[in-house]
Each structure stands twice: as structure tokens, then as C-alpha cells.
Amino acid sequence: MGLFDKILGKSEETDVPDLEDLMQAEGDVVSPPADFYVKRVDLRNEGDGELALKELGSKNIIILNVMPLSKQPNRLKTIISKMKSHAGKINGDIALLSNDLIILTPANVKIVKSKPKAKPGATIIS
């Protein structure tokens, strides 16, 4: 709705669902227990990195929120390098989901990574 619509009293109804309401879970209890889980870990310090690696060792998939450490790029880079190395050693995988989220997968779970699309008129050198 634009400024003039507000002044003139025109209103538009939109049917955009509130995704947060739709995604509300009934709780974190899983019944029956699963073989592995997808877990979110907020990376605030090295201890959170160790927790993520421990969960990875338990065959859980980790969604890592790196936003809390984004203002400490050297520390963040060190922790992510350690995680990348660990994922490679256990035959897992790691990938960037967004600027703030990284996904880590356990052994024998691979992430399909797409290559960035070339801009129109760009020359691709192989």
C-alpha cells in the first residue's frame, strides 16, 4: 500500500501467510526417536564450534548460525576452517546456505553445490 492509498483510505488485502506461525512446532520432543536430527547451533565461541562437531559425530546435520561471530572475522575464519577440515576427515560436507548460515553434514551425506550462473555477456574461461 502506498502513501496516497493510506491518505485516501484505500486498502489492499494480501493473502501472504505468516510463515513463522505456520512453522511453529508442537515441541522439540520427537516420538519415536529418530536415527539422526537436524540441529541449529548459534556460533558464539569455540565451545559452540566443539558442540557442533560433537553433534556431527553423532550423525546429526547442523545448521550453523555464524551471525554472533560476524564482527570477529579472524576468529570466525579459524573456527570455520577447523570445521571444514573435520568435515573432510569424516567424509562429511560443509556449505554456505546464506551469509549467516552454514550447513554441516555427517559422514556419507553430501551437499549438492551449484556453480554460480554466469552473467550475460561474461566470458567463461575453463
The CATH number of the domain holding residue 72 is 3.30.110.150
Q: E strand or H helix at 96, and its extent?
A: strand 93-96
The rounded distance, in Å, linking the Cα atoms of 77 and 69 is: 10
Q: What integer pLDDT is reported at residue 115 of this predicted model?
A: 74
Q: What integer pLDDT is reported at residue 114 of this predicted model?
A: 80
Output the nine-digit C-alpha cell for 106.
555427517
> Where does 5-81 show beta strands of DSSP type E?
38-42, 61-65
Are 82 and 49 in contact, with CB atoms under 8 Å apart? yes
Domain count, the chain: 1
Range of the domain at 101: 32-110
The rounded distance, in Å, linking the Cα atoms of 122 and 51 is: 43
Q: What integer pLDDT is reported at residue 72 of this predicted model?
A: 94
Q: What integer pLDDT is reported at residue 32 of this predicted model?
A: 81
73 in a domain, yes or no?
Answer: yes
- Max Cα separation, the chain? 64
118 in a domain, yes or no?
Answer: no
20 in a domain, yes or no?
Answer: no
Q: E strand or H helix at 93, and its extent?
A: strand 93-96
47 in a domain, yes or no?
Answer: yes
8 in a domain, yes or no?
Answer: no
In order along its 126 residues, the chain shows pLDDT tens digits of 555 555 566 555 556 677 777 666 555 566 788 889 999 999 999 999 999 999 999 999 999 999 999 999 999 999 999 999 999 999 999 999 999 999 999 999 999 988 766 666 655 554
Angstrom distances, CA of residue 79 to CA of 49, 101, 106, 117: 7, 14, 17, 29
CA end-to-end distance (rounded Å), the chain: 48
95 in a domain, yes or no?
Answer: yes
96 in a domain, yes or no?
Answer: yes
19 in a domain, yes or no?
Answer: no
Are 59 and 35 in contact, with CB atoms under 8 Å apart? yes
